[in-house]
Amino acid sequence: MAQAAPRLPEITPEIHAEEKRTRGGGGVVPVLAFAGIVVAVMQTLLVPVIKDLPALLDTSASNATWVVTATLLAGAVATPIMGRLGDLYGKRRMLLASLAVMVVGSLICGVTDNLLIMIVGRSLQGVAMGAIPLGIGIMRDELPREKLGSAMALMSSSIGVGGGLALPAAALVAQHADWHILFFGAAGLGVVSMVLTVIFVPESSVRARGSFDHLGAIGLSAGLVCLLLPITKGSDWGWSSGSTLGFFAGALAILLLWGVMELRIAAPLVDLRTTVRREVLLTNLASIMVGVAFYAISLVLPQLLQLPKSTGYGLGQSMVTAGLCVAPLGLTMMFTAPLYARIAAKYGPKVSLMIGMLIIAIGYGAGLGLMSAPWQTIIISVVVGAGIGLAYSSLPALIIGAVDASETGAANGLNTLMRSIGTSVSSAVIGMVLAHSSTALGPVSVPTMSGFRTSFVIATGAVVIGLALAVFLPSRKRTAAAAAALSKPVATSDPIGQDATGTTTNAVAGFTGFRGKVLDADGFPVPRATVTLIDRRGRQAGITVAADDGTYALGVRAAGTYILAVTATGRPPLATPVSYMTVDELVTVDLRPAAVTASVPQ
C-alpha cells in the first residue's frame, strides 16, 4: 500500500484548467474562428488588384510582389513570437495585441500610395497571423476534449475558408470604389474581432515559466528576410550575382546559428527539439509543401480571369466574377471537414493527408489544360480546395499523435510556422515567375500563359514532394488512436471505455500505460474526476477526465517514475508517485482519497 505523496502546487492551474474545460466553451469557438477568417482576409486582401499594383504604387512588378510577400513573411515570424508571448503573458491578451497591430497596419495602408510605407503597413497586418496558434492554444485551455478536435480543425482551416470568401468581397469593393477602402474594411473587421474576443473569450490561467527569447525572434526574422529577398529579386540581380549568392549564404548561416542557439537555451522561441522525431520532421516538411501549393492558386487564377481576351489567353472577367470563380476554394475547404473526420477515424490522419495532397496534385495537373474558360477555373478551385481542406485538417492530429501531451503546444506552433514559411516562399517564387515571364500590354506588363503554367507546375511539384514525404509517416496504429482521441467524447475517448452492456473494455488494442478507477473511501466511483500525469521534471505528461463509473486511462511513452494527481469537485487534490517499468506495460492504479493501490496484471 503506497502512501499519498505531498500535494504539488505547480500542477494545480493545469488541473483546474481541465475542470474548467469540461464545462464547455460557450462562444469561444465561433469567435476564434472569426478571428482566423479576419487573418485570412489580410492574406488575400490585395489578390483582386494584384495585377494593377505596379501601376497603383508606381513601381516594378517584382517590387510590387513584396506588398503580398511582406504580409506572409511577417506572419511567419509573428506565429512563434505571439505564441510564446501568449504562453508567458496570456493568450487572450496577445490575441488582442496581434489584432490591434493589424488594425494599425490597415489604417497605415489606407492612407498611402508609397511602396515602402505600404510594405510597412502590410507587415503590421501580417502580425495578425499570430492569432492562429493563439486561438488553438485558447481552445486547448478552454474546451472539453470532445470538442477540441473539430474546433482545432476549424481554426486550422479558417485561413483557407476566410481567404476564399474574402476574394469576391474584396473584388466587389475594389471594382466599385477606391482600392484603399479595402484596408479600412480590414481595420473594421479587426475591431469587431477584438470586441468579440473581449466579450466571449476568457483569459487562460495557464502560464509558462521562463522568459522571452529576443535573440531568437531577431534571428528568425533576419534569416527569413535573407532567404526570401533573393528569391524575389534574383532575376533582377542575376542568379549568380554577388548580391543573390550573398543573401542566400547569409540566410543559411543565420538560420543555422539560430537553430543552434534555439537548441541550447532553456526557453527557446521555437522548440526545435521536437523536430528530431521522424514523424514531426516529415509532417512539418509536408506542411511547407502544402503551404506552397495553397497560395499558388490564389495568385494565378484571379489574374488569368481578369486579363483581357485580346491577349489570346485572358478570360476577360470582372474583378467580382474572378473572385466568385475562386471562392469555391474556401467553401470546399469548409465542407471537407466532416469528410476528414470520417477518413481519419477509419484510416488515420496520415491517409487523409495523403489523399488530400493527391487531390491537390490532380487539381493542379488538370489545371494545366483547364485555363480556357471561367467554368474550368471553378473546377480547379473546387478540386484543389477539397485537397487542401483534407490536408490542413490532418496536420494537427498528426502532430498531436507524434509528441507527448506536454509538447503539443510547441509542436503545433512549429507546424503553423512551417505552413507560414510555405505560403511566404510560394508568394515570393510565384510572384517572381509571373513578373519575369510577363509581356507588354500597352503601358503595363502582364503575366503570360507560360508563367501561369509554370506556377502550376511548381505547385504540383511541391505537393508531389509532400506526398512522397507523407508516405514515410507513422502507420495507422498510432495516428488513428490520436485522431480518435480528438474526435470522441471524453468518457469514451480514453482507451478504457464501456460496451453496450456496461462492461469495461479495452477500446484501443495495444494500449499501454496507466489505467484504473477513481474511488471514494467506501469504494464507490468518483465520476468526472480529473487525473493528471506528471513526469519527473514536473511537466504534464498527460491529462484526462474519468468516466461516470470512475474509469480513467493515460498512455505513457517512456519508462520511468511519474506522479498521478487526481482532483474532484468537493475533494482536496491528491498526488502519488508511481513507476512505469517497461514501455509495453499496462499498470492498474486505483486512485482513492486516502490511499492508492497498484498492481500489474499477470
What's this model's pTM, rounded to 2 decimal places? 0.67
Write down the H helix ranges in 443-489. 449-471, 476-487
Q: 153 and 340 in contact (C-beta within 8 Å)?
A: yes
The pair phi, psi for residue 516, each rounded to 5°, is 160, -155
Calculate mean pLDDT across residues 472-496.
47
The pair phi, psi for residue 578, each rounded to 5°, is -140, 160
| Run of H or E residues at 390 | helix 374-402
Kindly report, residue by residue over 109-154, the tens digit of the pLDDT. Answer: 999 999 999 999 999 998 888 887 788 778 877 777 667 666 766 6
Q: Higher pLDDT residue, 411 or 565?
A: 565
> What is the distance of C-alpha 56 from the center of its chain?
33
pLDDT reported for residue 116 = 92
Please state which of the four CATH numbers 2.60.40.1120, 2.60.40.10, 1.10.10.10, 3.20.20.10 is assigned to the domain occupying 502-599: 2.60.40.1120
Dist CA 592 CA 531 (whole Å): 12
pLDDT reported for residue 111 = 93
Kindly report, residue by residue over 312-331, the tens digit of the pLDDT. Answer: 888 888 888 888 888 888 77
pLDDT reported for residue 511 = 58
What residue ranges of the chain are covered by domains with CATH 1.20.1250.20?
28-200+270-482
- Amino acid in position 346: K
Q: State the number of CA atoms in the 13 A half-sphere of 373 facing the CB.
A: 3
- Amino acid in position 118: M
* CATH class in words for 28-200+270-482: mainly alpha
Kindly report, residue by residue over 512-542, the tens digit of the pLDDT. Answer: 788 888 887 777 888 878 888 877 666 667 7
Dist CA 302 CA 434 (whole Å): 13
What residue ranges of the chain are covered by domains with CATH 2.60.40.1120?
502-599
SS3 content of the chain, % helix, strand, coil (to 5): 65, 10, 25
Q: What confidence category does residue 354 fall into, taking pLDDT thresholds of 50, 70 and 90?
A: very high
DSSP structure string for 154-173: HHHHHHHHHHHHHHHHHHHH
